[in-house]
Amino acid sequence: MSQREMTSMERVMSALAFKEPDRLPFFLSLTMHGARELGLDIKTYFSKAENVIEGQLRMRARYGHDCLFPFFYAALEVEAWGGDVLYSANGPPNSGQPVIGSPDAISALEPPDVADSPSLCRMLDAIGGLKERAGDEVPIIGVVMSPFSVPVMQMGFEAYLLLMHEQPALFWQLMRKNEHFCIQWANAQLAAGATAICYFDPVASPTIIPRERYLQTGFAVACRTIPAINGPTATHLASGRSLPIIDDLCRTGTQMLGVSVAEDLAAVKAAGKGQMAVLGNLNGVAMRRWTADEAAARVREAIFAAGPGGGFILADNHGEIPFQVPEAVLSSISEAVHAWGRYPIQGPGQSGEAGA
């Protein structure tokens, strides 16, 4: 007898509990594609919550994925701190000049109040509008930049690394201020209707800093910040490697991990020992040039590697699908999940394999 069709919320919750749902859940983190759908440029699209609400709903109706992703752009947080945003015709908005011109400015820096930031309030309105439209049928994913990683945008990468290594007192001052803001911002999104928070923390990855430095810095920050967020979190290293710090990430209390395309899904899932589900790891950069057949092949590989036993959500490896990824590729990803991701999953060469 065929299994009942689950809602996206049921499907995702089942996978996170390491149970096998009706089919593998998948997330398409489409932040900008809604602008094209509505015939708007990216700046205009993000100027109104109503645009993002409509764009997200249309993208999900088209591709059938299992989340709504009302994330605007990473520079939104820097904008709230008083920074500029640089818009592009074909990519995500980026932060302009650093809001922290020198380390000496950190002492006088005051975290913004979410309620006083028009840009943050637009995103909260988008979350609230999606909650009204979708109810509890589908997860709504909020996003924060981790207190440990957002200084890359606040002051620039090189200046931040120098601060971390050479001026520890000011570094920890900045961490405390960023933690205050991050917790406030995450909890505001949850209060507006978000189901969970994606905690973007690329600087934590051993791709960027050694594990020993992470344990002295970003790990301590995460251990204070994540438990203060009033809902489930997924830590995303934004394409960075994670295997050397898997046990450390589990200790922060996060429930899911965004996995790099440079790592083996099955190995990461096994290393998480049932404590953290995995999210990933389709190559978003290469995805721009994939054919439909290549997209389907990558999806099958990921499903066979990490799908059995639950604990896996298929997604891209960075947390934002590039604007240049064509509709045909996104459609192929969706079709492949629906064809190959039905439980129980049959691996390559097994009887009952889809398309055999």
Q: Are strands 94-95 and 85-86 parallel, antiparallel or unpaired?
A: antiparallel
Amino acid of residue 104 = D
Backbone φ and ψ of 281, nearest 5°: -130, 50
Percent above pLDDT 70 for the chain: 96
Residue 293 pLDDT greater than 70, yes or no: yes
Q: Lowest-confidence range among 101-110, 208-217, 242-251, 346-355?
A: 346-355
Please, are residues 354 and 337 in contact by the beta-carbon 8 Å criterion? no
Domain 8-340 classification at class level:
alpha beta
50-88 pLDDT tens trace: 999 999 999 999 999 999 999 999 999 999 999 999 999
196-255 pLDDT tens trace: 999 999 999 999 999 999 999 999 999 999 999 999 999 999 999 999 999 999 999 999
Domain boundaries, the chain: 8-340
**Residues 167, 198: Cα–Cα separation, whole Å:** 29
pLDDT computed for residue 348 by the predictor: 63
Residue 332 neighbours by CB under 8 Å, 6+ apart: 290, 292, 293, 295, 296, 299
- Give residue 4's pLDDT band: very low, low, confident or very high (50, 70, 90): confident
Backbone φ and ψ of 26, nearest 5°: -140, 145
Confidence (pTM): 0.95
Q: Where would I find the beta strands (DSSP E) of 196-309?
A: 196-200, 233-236, 256-258, 277-282
Residue 343 neighbours by CB under 8 Å, 6+ apart: 3, 20, 21, 22, 23, 24, 307
Please, are residues 256 and 234 in contact by the beta-carbon 8 Å criterion? yes
